[in-house]
Amino acid sequence: MTTGLIPGDQPPDPRPTNGLPHQRDEPVGCGTMLAENRSRSSVITARAAASFEPVGRSVASARAFVRDTLQGWGFADVIDDAVVLTSELVTNAVVHAGTSADLLCLRSDDGVRIEVADRYPEREVPLQGSAATMGSPDREGGRGLQLCAALADRWGVEYSPTYKTVWFQLDIPERPVGTRAAGPALPSDLLPIADTRVRVAVVQIDRIGAISSWNEDAEELFGYRADQVTGKPLTDLAAWPHTPGTGTGIAEALQLSRWEGSYGIRDAHGRVTPVYASHLRVRDADGDPSTVCLLVRDHERAVLQTPLRAPASDTSENQSTDPFEVFIGSPAPDDLDSLLQRTVERARDMLDGDSAFLLLATDDETELEVRASTGLPSARQRFARVPVEAGSGRYGSARMPSVHDDLAALPGAVPLLNGTGMRSVVTVPLKVEGRLTGSLGVAAEGAGRYSNEEALRLQFAADRIALAVESARLGELERLRRGSLSFLVEASDLLAGTLDRDQTLALMAQMTVPTLATWCAVYTIADQASEPYLSYVLHEDEELIDGIKSLLSKMPPPDPVPTPGARVWSAPGEVAHQAALRTSMRSLGLSGGPSTQVTPGIGPTLTTAAAVGGETVVLPLVARNRVIGMLTLGKPTDEHFRQEILELAEDLSRRAALALDNARLYSERTAISQSLQRSLLPPELPVIDGVEVEVIYRAAGEGNEVGGDFYDLFPISDGAYGFAIGDVCGTGPNAAAVTGLARHALRLLAREGLSGPAVLERLNSAILDEGARSRFLTLLYGELRPQEDGSAELKVVCAGHPLPLRLRQDGTVEPAAEPQPLLGVLEDLDLYEQTVTLDPGDVLLCVTDGVTERREGLNMLGDDGLTEVLTTCTGLTAGAVAARIMRAVERFASDAPSDDMAILAMRVPGLHQD
């Protein structure tokens, strides 16, 4: 891949046109003509280009290139859409069209334009005005134009004699940077409640996102000294509520000129403190930018929160006031979370309540999900789900307005308020075109605070905001789905890139944490008779992994239910709570005798309990109609999953299950293959008195332990030993089958007392009897007999094999046999054996042709090269000789060997040696 990044004005088109203008064709349905697009006065401020080869991995590289480029340009809002469209268009070019792809990213003031060009040589140029042919959504390819039409703001196709270019434009939405307003004077009893000592943490963040200043209030609020956090990124401490495809991240929020909102800071004890923050971007005298962050506890947000702009009160009789703006204020927030938060705050103030909450309905209207609250522990309530039909009597339905005078008389009527101290509550439904879309409630600590009059006022307000809330919810859902599509594209690509089981487990966990969950655990099931086994645990804080792993290993695993979808698993939270309670009691001396000191282990125990104390769900990993494991996702104390995240996790679990099962099958087949291959290798070499023997064997091909080359050394009788080194035509399993036949036949025939030529003739017949499966074989076979005078006598037959080389003590090298016909070709062979005597200090070297035919370009090691290396081995042991030969072969060429190699070295020690 080649890339380039050039800031500046509109660049020239880098593609050749052969002197002809580009022919353009705008597909029907794209909505904006190319000419209209070209007429725009946008100035190109940066350009990034890359070229990708026509191979499958180029698609992932193109996605990464676009993601990195747009992230660097600060266009995080459109990254997900751009990645999905680029992935489809580059796939069409490098996979379906089979050509290289040129990718061009252009940045302008109002958006980004991405062009993908290919060089498909045979293409009919569409006629002007004819309908463009789009691929079916069910086809493997050809969906690029459909996705462009669905996701891009503008798009088109350009043709030239040698290029086809598909381009799309994504506009950047405007980002609000804050609003200044003044609130009315209020009586003292209506002012917001704060602690006696309000602490405002002042944290300054430098241009790279690292903490450069940390005041005393920050130390008190979060437990870190300034020297402990200075220089660290704020993202290491911030617990940002991340959802794929929605919202602004902490890094983007720090780049805005002004930002307000809620998130969490993880304190020195591992707990998350909800805070309300106000960010202001400044620059020093040298022009270096930084961000000043003011942080208070979330329930003290009124200290920093910008007051709502009150609607104009001097409206004339003929001037209408928008009821929506009367309730929400102007301008209205443009994102869902801010709109919902402002709604509950205004509803609480309107009815003079102590708390308020807003729930949104699921698509089937069977459950309500908590999305915003004030005056309640929001961390515990956010994304909690309650059924639409709850409780009894006239207060039991969320589809109608209801008033509860005293919750103490009807426990459980409003599950959301259990344990909060609220006594009276009024709730009203949010409806759009008669369909339930949510519920809005206001509660007070005193009983009998509300009547039907307050219910009517709240219902009137709810009717004014229902349509705006539903519109914002649908917009968020669309962004979430686009982000989910991008997330699944990346996840599928990563999972498909490995067949290693452990790596697949690690990828499953790393893709879910922290994008989908705070922690996760993967259980695997070997077979139907096996219990689930805890295979992998991951938490976004690495220091908590061991504690969670220890907790889960001491409790029964979840049941392997094949039913699709996520189901709640309450056991981890309960067990963690009990463990923390027992540890706390022991530390206080309530069990096991008196104690005045806190047990050192109480910190980790309480931290682990907080880490797994939220909602925990289990998703089955089902592949090929069998449950092969479970994916467990968890949240910290009192947090819940939103439904869209669970649906995304379910989709991911299906892909991960298939990848994990593929890795399992590959591992099993590899283990079987390696076991069978090892059975073809000879057992340990025998020890021969008076002769040193060394063997080095290398099989070609990944995962192969045995190929077409083989060796053997075995006792025959009366102090005689048989040795062999051979090469079957080809490599891999088919050659290994003939290897097994040859090695075992040699042993059987040699021990029958047959001579060398007779052994090889019968082996030749056995190979020919294999018929179509037979392969020709080169073989060096001999018998070795140590002599009383310290020498060794060898009788050898060289049937088409590279000749053995004899190294004498004076450094001379000579062939030790003559060439004869190979096996497996002719039925009648006329073989004979030759006698060789190895004197003390002599070496006999036997190799296969994988050694002599080692190549580097047009050069080959050859017999002469082998002889030259062997002449330098005088005085070396058999092991040293074999090792030096192998090093010379490996260094001769840089590429991995493409043929099997076997080296057999035998040496008779000198008389003066041991």
How far CA 793 is from CA of 429, 846, 876, 912, in Å, comes to 102, 16, 21, 20
| Rounded-to-integer distance, Cα 871 and Cα 866, Å | 9
The arithmetic mean of pLDDT across residues 75-85, rounded, is 85
Residue pair 558/532 in contact (Cβ under 8 Å)? The answer is: yes
Beta pairing class for 435-444 and 567-568: unpaired
| Rounded-to-integer distance, Cα 87 and Cα 492, Å | 12
**Buried/exposed 709-724: b ≥16 CB within 10 Å, e otherwise:** bbbbbbebeeeebbbb
Report for 569-573, 611-615, 837-841: range of highest mean pLDDT: 837-841
pLDDT value at residue 768: 86
Residue 422 pLDDT exceeds 50: yes
639-643, 664-668, 807-811: range with lowest mean pLDDT: 639-643
Higher pLDDT: 189 or 157? It is 157
pLDDT value at residue 24: 38
Residue 255 pLDDT exceeds 50: yes
The arithmetic mean of pLDDT across residues 558-576, rounded, is 84
Beta pairing class for 111-118 and 101-107: antiparallel
pLDDT tens readout for residues 610-646: 777 778 899 999 888 888 899 999 888 767 787 888 8
Residue 447 pLDDT exceeds 70: yes
Residue 776 pLDDT exceeds 70: yes
Report for 16-25, 297-306, 724-733, 799-808: range of highest mean pLDDT: 799-808
Higher pLDDT: 41 or 11? It is 41
Tokens for 594?
């008196």
| Rounded-to-integer distance, Cα 531 and Cα 525, Å | 6
pLDDT value at residue 72: 81
pLDDT value at residue 665: 86
Residue 305 pLDDT exceeds 50: yes
Burial (CB count within 10 angstroms: exposed 0-12, middle 13-18, buried 19+), residue 543: exposed
Residue pair 892/868 in contact (Cβ under 8 Å)? The answer is: no
Tokens for 546?
């061991």
pLDDT value at residue 311: 41
pLDDT tens readout for residues 22-37: 333 333 334 333 434 4
**Could you tell me which residues come within 8 angstroms of residue 223 by beta carbon, excluding any fewer than 6 positions away?**
267, 268, 269
Residue pair 411/331 in contact (Cβ under 8 Å)? The answer is: no
pLDDT band at 477 (very low <50, low <70, confident <90, very high): confident
The pTM assigned to this predicted structure is 0.53
Residue 130 pLDDT exceeds 50: no
| Rounded-to-integer distance, Cα 325 and Cα 315, Å | 13
pLDDT value at residue 568: 87
Residue pair 403/455 in contact (Cβ under 8 Å)? The answer is: yes
